[in-house]
Amino acid sequence: MKKSLKERLAILSDAAKYDASCASSGTVRRSSAGSGGLGSTEGSGICHAYAPDGRCISLLKILMTNFCIYDCAYCINRSSSNVERARFSVEEVIWLTLEFYRRNYIEGLFLSSGIIRSSDHTMEEMVRIARELRTTHNFRGYIHLKSIPEASPHLIEEAGLYADRLSLNIELPTDAGIARYAPEKQPAGIRRSMGALRLKIEEMGDKTLQTKRTRRFAPAGQSTQMIVGADGANDATILGTSARLYGSYGLKRVYYSAFSPIPDSSKNLPLIKPPLMREHRLYQADWLYRFYGFNVGEITSTRADGMLDLDLDPKLAWALGHREQFPVDVNKAEREMLLRVPGLGTKTVKSILSSRRFTRLRLEDLKRLGVSLKKVQPFITVDGWTPHRLVDRPDLRAMFQPKPEQLSLL
């Protein structure tokens, strides 16, 4: 018996939650009591993401289908998996998007898909959804399309005319990992598609001679996702791959998705789920690389195994491993060094630099700027405060480490 739309929405929004490429959080429940109809889906498929202007927006996050002809070992939807399958038609995705949008549940659509029949066939259907939403229904909401990397370039290009953001998943940090766990995928082809997308985004971003305007093409740029923990790559390798992707393809974002093992001895996969904390630390390290002037080697220099410290945020871990660089004089230090002080973010550093033009700063001023004094004090000097030998204390790390939790016996 064919599943109802509501049943398929539950399956295909649940399947989409493994994709981190749009989410700042997982699926949220949203009460729609009293609205009736599709509103009683308990918020299936609604996630939050950040729009290019920084606003947090709600998106309908679904797969077009979780059927797939590929057999990527790390994926719950792979052809050999026995998950419940479902599929939406093009018209159903359009209808759902418009209905959710009209009812104010969402501000946009995040659409991904397993591969049905062929990469081009799947991509054609996804492009048709985006095209009809924009042209037939004049849909103005946000659209993020997860491109099928093996699809023909003209289809990926057409997708950019209608989508705000396109993403092409690099999947795993190394080509060897992809060859082992997703042998049907071609990492060189994925990178080629990313390169072509970058050129197109840049080309369309130039003002034309006639109209002196830029043309609309994936205005929110491109992003990618890497599965973390499915192969043996350490954090240094993962962050090194991200750095190359940012540099070579102008990506707006690399998303890290902690691998959820699928028990299957035939695939010879590790069965220990890495903590989500690893994913969180990678995002923090990625942030340091992009906005704080750290290079990947520095961020991962504190441990011999190339892994990030799970107990401490990467900037604090770096500072504790490089104590000779502290304390930093907040009233004199360059921006680059202020950014390396644990507890000082980019906005705070900006405020410090502008305040310094008029006054000399004291601890009270930092407190007024929202700085955690406990975190920052061992690493700075300001008027009226010097940490003396606090930064050299052997137990400094222990002062920042999370307290061990009492395990319940019940």
Query: Which residues in this chain contact ligand SF4 in the complex, by CB under 6 A?
Result: 68, 70, 72, 75, 77-78, 114-115, 182
Structure tokens at 74: 């790390």
Distance CA 76, CA 269 (A): 13
CB 349 within 8 A of CB 293: no
Structure tokens at 199: 């050129």
Minimum distance, C-beta of residue 80 to ligand SF4, in the bound complex (Å): 9
Q: Which is nearer to ligand SF4, 105 or 256 (CB)?
A: 256
Minimum distance, C-beta of residue 23 to ligand SF4, in the bound complex (Å): 17
The amino acid occupying position 198 is R
Q: Which is nearer to ligand SF4, 268 or 408 (CB)?
A: 268
Minimum distance, C-beta of residue 147 to ligand SF4, in the bound complex (Å): 11
Minimum distance, C-beta of residue 230 to ligand SF4, in the bound complex (Å): 11
Minimum distance, C-beta of residue 47 to ligand SF4, in the bound complex (Å): 18
Question: Cα dist. 123→116, 158, 309 in Å?
Answer: 9, 10, 40
Q: Which is nearer to ligand SF4, 8 or 78 (CB)?
A: 78
Structure tokens at 94: 């359009």
The values of phi and psi at residue 40, to 5°, are -90, 30
Distance of CA 136 to the CA centre of its chain: 31
Distance CA 132, CA 91 (A): 9
Minimum distance, C-beta of residue 242 to ligand SF4, in the bound complex (Å): 19
The DSSP letter of residue 35 is: S
Q: Which is nearer to ligand SF4, 115 or 228 (CB)?
A: 115
Minimum distance, C-beta of residue 8 to ligand SF4, in the bound complex (Å): 16
- The single residue listed with the structure tokens 């993401």 is 49
Taking CA 61 as the corner, what is the angle to CA 56 and CA 64, rounded to the nearest 5 degrees? 155
Distance CA 100, CA 83 (A): 26
Q: Which is nearer to ligand SF4, 98 or 116 (CB)?
A: 116
Minimum distance, C-beta of residue 183 to ligand SF4, in the bound complex (Å): 10
Distance of CA 64 to the CA centre of its chain: 21
Q: Which is nearer to ligand SF4, 70 or 287 (CB)?
A: 70
Minimum distance, C-beta of residue 328 to ligand SF4, in the bound complex (Å): 45
Residue closest to 159 by CA, chosen among 118, 207, 122? 122
Taking CA 82 as the corner, what is the angle to CA 79 and CA 86, rounded to the nearest 5 degrees? 75
Q: Which is nearer to ligand SF4, 183 or 293 (CB)?
A: 183
Task: Give me the residues paired with residue 167 across strands.
Answer: 146, 223
Residue closest to 27 by CA, chosen among 57, 61, 56? 61
User: Which helix (H) or strand (E) covers residue 288, if one does?
Assistant: helix 276-291
CB 273 within 8 A of CB 259: yes
Task: Give me the residues paired with residue 144 across strands.
Answer: 110, 165
Minimum distance, C-beta of residue 13 to ligand SF4, in the bound complex (Å): 15
User: Which helix (H) or strand (E) covers residue 194, if one does?
Assistant: helix 187-205
Q: Which is nearer to ligand SF4, 80 or 104 (CB)?
A: 80
Residue closest to 66 by CA, chosen among 33, 109, 21, 115? 115
Cβ neighbours, 10 Å, residue 322: 13
